[in-house]
A and B are shown apart, each in its own frame.
Chain A
Amino acid sequence: MNYKLVFKSAILSGEIMLRNGAETYRVEDTINRILKTTNFQVIESFVTPTGIFATLDDPSIEMITYVKRVDKRTIHLSKVTLTNDVSRKYCTNQLTIEEAYEKLLEIKDKPAYSNLLVIIATGLAAGFFTIVFSGRFNDFIISTIIGSTLGLVDILFKKLNIYKFFYDIVGGCIIALVAILFTKFIHFGSNFDLIIIGSIMPLVPGVAFTNAIRDTIEGNLLSGISRGVEALIVAAAIATGVGVVLKLYYLLSGGGLL
């Protein structure tokens, strides 16, 4: 058996999952399951949101240890699903390790939805959330415009390699600015609050929050805490962005116009 390839596949699948928004315990579970197919004595993996550590040891081989730092994290859940599939198939002997490794490499380079589609989706998500919170049709249109702008800025910032937290602050500013522009100056939308609430939703750290809880339940306390802090900081950044613009407008308009 090519145990080195098994080890490499395990690390690769762990890396793909961690990079694309899987919970930490799921990553550990996947790595362990793949490593277990070697039937070696010592199988250990430790995963945090920023890195993977794994060890394989047996009397018959030299001990292998691997440390993989994972710095950039995005959310691409279909990659998580696909990797899960491959590891499930490999562990039930439906795939050989060579095929599995091949498939993992394919998944790693799998393209996301196109930029244009993401921009439109962000817009419509914001728009429909305004409807969910009982907004009117005019509000829907404005939120869609704001959301699309957010999607555009997000893609731009990712290309320029700007910190995620800065995007959240800028995003908050954009939401408040455009909402004020439309409702107070153009007098198009009727409900200022609902537009902002709907448009905030694409920024709200839902994934970090859900994963923080699920990691904590599974006993991965370190990951739970770090993801929880991530969610908190994102929330604070959005609040800062929206708050600063609102405050400025409040002061400039003499306090009466909000």
Chain B
Amino acid sequence: MKRIEAINDFVIKFANVNGSGSASANELFAKAVMRMGVPVSPRNIFPSNIQGMPTWYEARVCEKGYHGRRGGVDMMVAMNPQTWDADVAEVETGGYLFYDSTRPLPASKFRDDVHTIGVPLTDIANAAYSEPRQRQLFKNIIYVGALSVLLDVEAQVFETLFAEQYKGKERLLESNVQALHLGRNYVKEHLQAPLGIRVQRADNVGDQIFTDGNSAAGLGLVYGGATVAAWYPITPSTSVPEAFQKYCSKFRVDPATGQHKFAIVQAEDELASIGMVVGAGWNGARAFTATSGPGVSLMTEFIGLAYFAEIPVTIINVQRGGPSTGMPTRTQQSDLLSCAYASHGDTKHVLLFPQDPHECFTHSAAALDLAERLQTPIFVMSDLDIGMNQRLCKPFVWDDAQAYDRGKIMTAEELEAGKPFGRYRDVDGDGIPWRTLPGTHPSKGAFFTRGTSRNPQAMYSEAGPDYIYNMERLLRKFITAATLVPQPVFRPAQQPTRLGVIYYGSTSPAMREALDVLERNGVYVDAMRLCAFPFPDSVSEFIAAHDKVFVAEQNRDGQMRTLLINELEINPAKLVRVLHYDGTPITARFIIRTIHDSVAKELV
């Protein structure tokens, strides 16, 4: 029988039962591979349910460092009887099926074209442990141990990881090491190892860190100086405020007084959470909320107020499958239009598109600066794929000399010195007016903030010219925004080409891989990764310079394409959709196939 042979390049998938404690064992496995110097990108696949239901953990081991989902499974660790049939069916021909052989299964449950590896995990665990919970938890470590021999991962690496994890808890350390070796010894004694797929020490991880986007965003918000957070629980954004809370407790508690340099409120709903952020932003604190699609829907009235009344607001939107409750635990990039134009009337909002945890950190911190600089809502458009999965990325850096950009805030001294103040006057020509904070000065600079139309002095006015002045100024401000947001990243093809591709956010790692493969196959494509909306001129120039531009994204309707057409007045025929939206992260295979098909069609 054919067997898949691959060193440092395979996909292993763990099928587990939710609540069985498998998550930490699977993460342990991924970390061990990484400590072998081999890049790994794992993904949690969890339907929207809790205890007892199926979950999967798919880890791609890839020496070249492609973090996108590859597609296909080379080895299935089938630990969930409920999903057995589907799991077995997913394995590539010549691949491997690892299972708990304690109870015999009929031959019909297996495949002829897949190598079956049985380890009596339950027997081993039951023989070694008496408590049911221990039996369950250590069974997970036992399978990790067994896999380590099958895939040739060094025992020492695990032992070091355990030592770090259970520092000061010697009993736990010992028992974990023991469980690991129970698995290792069984394989050494009874099975042939290593398999055709295996891990070999390499040096391709470097100084990269392994973290998830939501933790990184929470940390970025601490570094960016957010002091007020208001939020309402929703998957997959909840871990953003949780991370913020964790890092604030660590870094923002005054050691002398025990007092907090932050305020976090779990609001009663999204209406209240954005309302609190609006109030805090109005009053000069850096404030944020984190949510997902349904939350954004509820927030839109307030987002319109913040846009029109010009109040700094930061919203971390960790996108999931919509519309409505859609697929709450699956990933998509389908909130683009609802965020770009959130609320009634003519509105336009700044969107940032982080591509990995590193950028979740930088963009979240930058969003707070931009919000104050531009006095407007800023959306960080993360998604479940980047937000909830750990990924290797560049380490976090911060320039300690950097102060926060508080934007145009007029001080009491400036007012006292006679600097003229008109809340909605465009004195600098960039569309951004000056503001004062409540309580600044006893007699100067106070104004009334409202969602109704007003004149440049902030006085209520329904006069047409006042309204137009304001709306035009807001547009001017949006043009200024295009110069302040992170700029697109251009990757030229190795040969001149009339083909281009535009992509953004979590599509990036799959795109990087796809472009390499296409290039190897002689298909040359210039690529532009969008980092923000509004689009700077370089985006129109890029599109103008190509005959055909693919727009790759993870939604049904090609929302980025729509945004490009709408904002840049581009001939729609020029922009070709590459759309993946089944809730799983887009793969390089999918991008390659779609672009290939399109190019091939052109040739016939």
Do A and B truly interact?
A: no
